[in-house]
Chains A and B, each alone.
Chain A
Amino acid sequence: MAAPAPAPTDFDGSGAWCLSSDVSLRDESFGALAYHHGNRRLVFLKSADLVALVRRLDQFASADEALDSLDDARTRAGCRRALRALADAGIIRGR
């Protein structure tokens, strides 16, 4: 049956985050596709940096800490925006 969409979580960078267990990731030349089996959202992760970050979010105490591990400021800013969108889509969730 069609599962109800989970309520989008407000993205709080100081919190701990991880990839939702309902999500499958598939690597693609441009980054990756993420699909949420519960809410049926298909999302495009448009850089390899973002894909790597999302995959190891659960290893950091907070999303901010994970973002700080990125060297390039522009990449960091882009990834922060992307994490917010991924949280809205339920692709990543607070843990």
Chain B
Amino acid sequence: MAVDSPLRDRFELGLAAPICLTWELTYACNLACVHCLSSSGRRDPGELTTGEARALIDEIASMKIFYVNVGGGEPTIRRDFYDLVEYAVERHVGVKFSTNGTRIDASAARRLAAMDYLDIQVSVDGADEATNDSVRGTGSFTAARRAMDELAAASFGAFKISVVVTRENVSQLDDFAALADHYGAQLRLTRLRPSGRGADVWSTLHPTREQGRELYRWLRERPEVLTGDSFFHLSALGSPLEGLNLCGAGRVVCLIDPVGDVYACPFVIHDEFLAGNVRDAGFGVVWRDSELFATLRAPGSGGACTSCGSYDACRGGCMAAKFFTGLELTDPDPECVFGHGEAALARRDGAVPAPRADHSRRVPVTLSAR
């Protein structure tokens, strides 16, 4: 779905409700991926109760938000996970949830396969155990494959295989596509961001500029591969990739975190991008009235990028990628395809902002064999 320019301009001014609402149900996670966007691990004692979560779903339904992207942490760790999913789909709020797959056994797969309006993304970050487990932890590849096997055995249908593209796995794109074909699944690729624990590994794991060009060419040939508009910074290389090709933060996208805090997007869990909390007066008020979102929707300056001939293609790139690498929001994307971001990184001074909430476990995680 390519979107014409006038419509994209309208989207930059914001919508009545988000198109893409991510709701992270819990900070609890049984893995400790090195690039976790939300620095998840330990449950936060202030997480929304079942009653609060249901009230939020009611509001999401009344705002005609068509679906929510449910994540975490590992969302299936919440005891009321299935209840909440069922509550949502009964109200015609579709659920697309991301999981590491460790808790999807045969009975869970059957239960999930019986539900309408439900999509599942199983995350792997390598096409083989060694590549994946170096990022997601020992045993995580086997666990994810087992979940895929169970979903296939339960005739779930076309689930998604979700991959964060890194310097180490970008050479495996064809293998990921083959893995998806093997299961009749859809492949989804997303961008590694310097958010959460990702800040610690971004400089060594983000694809090189040459790899970015390879990825662009690969995606251009495969419009069926989903990206969640992740790689719009690469659209500066030529024809646009599929998607809206804009930073949707606070305009068409936002994040509700496990304690009800609303952030401009899933990649900016930081005070500067905190718009409000759903516990105060609900989500709709935050979406419509927050000062932060008003600022993000105001026609802005492209800063250093406006003089670049490709500004209309990439619109300066990803706000979160700039922020958490210590760049100004008017600087080029750190992974600018023309290298302007690398130049900006070399010039930057001062500290890189730390994420707001770190729920990382304090002891190393070991995934027990089942």
Contacts and interface: CB of A to CB of B under 8 A. Distances in A.
Nearest to A33: B19
A35 to B, nearest CB: 4
A26 interface: yes
Given A1-B112, A28-B16, A46-B7, A40 B157 contact: no
A59 interface: no
Contact of A26 (B7, B17, B158, B159): B17
A84 B123 CA distance: 37
Given A1-B112, A37-B117, A30 B10 contact: yes
B92 A37 contact: yes
10 contacts: A1-B114, A1-B118, A1-B156, A2-B119, A2-B156, A29-B16, A30-B10, A33-B15, A35-B67, A40-B67
B119 A40 contact: yes
Given A28-B16, A33-B19, A37-B94, A2 B157 contact: yes
Nearest to B117: A37
Contacts of B114: 1
A27 interface: yes
Interface string B45-67: 00000000000000000001011
B201 interface: no
B116 interface: yes
Interface of B: 1, 3, 7, 10, 13, 15-17, 19, 64, 66-67, 92, 94, 112-119, 155-159
Contacts of A37: 66, 92, 94, 116-117
Given A1-B118, A26-B66, A35-B67, 10 more contacts: A1-B112, A1-B155, A2-B118, A3-B116, A26-B17, A33-B15, A33-B66, A40-B67, A44-B7, A46-B7
B1 A24 contact: no
A24 B93 CA distance: 10
Contacts of A42: 1, 19, 66
Nearest to B159: A2
A29 B297 CA distance: 14
A24 B61 CA distance: 11
B1 to A, nearest CB: 7
Nearest to B89: A37
